[in-house]
Amino acid sequence: MRGHTEFMANVLVTGGAGYVGSVCCRQLLDQGHSVVVIDDLSTGHRAALPPDITFFQLDVGDRVALSELLRTYQFEAVFHFAAKALIPESIVNPGTFFDSNVASGIVMLEALRAAGIRKFVFSSSAAVYGSPSVMPILEEHPKSPVNAYGESKLMLENVLHWYAKAYGWSVVIFRYFNACGALGDCGENHEPETHLIPLLLQTAAGERSVFEIYGDDYPTPDGTCLRDFIHVVDIAQAHVRALDLLGAQRLDIYNVGTGRAHSIKEVCRAVEAVTGIRLAVKVGPRRLGDPPALCASPNRIKKNLDWKPKHSSLQEIIESAWTWMTTYASRTPSPSLEAVRGSQL
């Protein structure tokens, strides 16, 4: 059985001021590892990180600045979270996603290779699967992304396969399902917000007048889409466990999910139960490309990393996110909220 890592690592975290990255930084620090964060702050927030953490505002595609940083610090491993991730934007403006997530990613990998760093953990996505034909989804399931975001993640996964094979890298790839929840003052702070639970909580808080369900005629028990929700703390703890695997030349890929799917209506009811507020909900038309159900098979990560989702009940997810929203998040409504018809999943 695997426990915590037996060594203390000096870890470079890209995109560490973002949602998942900031929580992972705190988990690494709690385990005694040293952390240096780089983030261009295009979507991340410096305030999401401890004030005394070593931080550089830097784009991973800036080869000169990154190479200088790598000459200054000796890193054992790199956790790569930095990416453009707004799915609706990726559909209408795919070029920027391939530029940021693939081209800049390769610039970063070449800088790491020149510095002799060969241990790498990649934040990928269940979006690489597209609309799955079999559930729960195994890591070997065929990949057929339905948006440029998923395609960009899959492209960098493929690049990493060749780096592991040709250069002897040790790589762990995590495919997240629906990351959600909060850790203290670290929560989802996107502009615009497009994810289901924050949108529901904004509705409960009066920041938006109504929540729209995109279709209730799917072949599911209540007609709404089914999704696998995983607490951001559980995701971060998987990353910390991955340090145990980094050593021999290999590439490991893991789904990070619970193996259980909840419907949109079920999540609506759970938010009402936690907040005590009746939500204004309406049903709209389906959106192109929304699969009826997405649910991970987490068997591989449970076996190989001795990991299990300890914080991913709907109640704990929603309670933590609601506490963050009511305690730490800005209460100033954005005038753009009602205009956004983005991904609620």
**Span 279-311, pLDDT tens digits:** 999 999 997 767 889 999 999 999 999 999 999
Neighbour tally for 139: CB within 10 Å: 17
Could you tell me if residue 40 is inside a domain? Answer: yes
Known active-site residue 129: no
**Which contiguous run of DSSP H or E holds residue 108?**
helix 104-114
Q: In the prediction, which pLDDT does 68 show?
A: 98
> Measured between alpha carbons, how far is 333 from 207 in angstroms, rounded to an integer?
6
Could you tell me if residue 337 is inside a domain? Answer: no
Assign residue 84 the CATH number of its domain: 3.40.50.720
Q: In the prediction, which pLDDT does 205 show?
A: 95
% of the chain exceeding 90 in pLDDT: 82
Say whether 210 sits in a helix, a strand or coil.
Answer: coil
Q: 23 pLDDT exceeds 70?
A: yes
Could you tell me if residue 18 is inside a domain? Answer: yes
Could you tell me if residue 266 is inside a domain? Answer: no
Say whether 243 sits in a helix, a strand or coil.
Answer: coil
Kindly report the pTM of this predicted structure. Answer: 0.92
Could you tell me if residue 98 is inside a domain? Answer: yes
Could you tell me if residue 104 is inside a domain? Answer: yes
SS3 content of the chain, % helix, strand, coil (to 5): 40, 20, 45
**Alpha helices, H only, 205-247:** 232-242
Burial classification of residue 283, based on how many CB atoms lie within 10 Å of its CB (0-12 exposed, 13-18 middle, 19 or more buried): middle
Q: How many domains does the chain have?
A: 1
- Residue at 263: amino acid letter: S
Q: 4 pLDDT exceeds 90?
A: no
Could you tell me if residue 3 is inside a domain? Answer: no
Asked if residues 226 and 295 have their Cβ atoms less than 8 Å apart, the reply is: yes
If phi > 0 it is left, if psi is from -120 to 50 it is alpha, else beta; for residue 324 that is: alpha
> Measured between alpha carbons, how far is 175 from 127 in angstroms, rounded to an integer?
8
Say whether 180 sits in a helix, a strand or coil.
Answer: strand
Q: Which of 19, 129, 149, 176 is catalytic?
A: 149
- Which structural domain range is residue 147 located in? 10-180+230-256
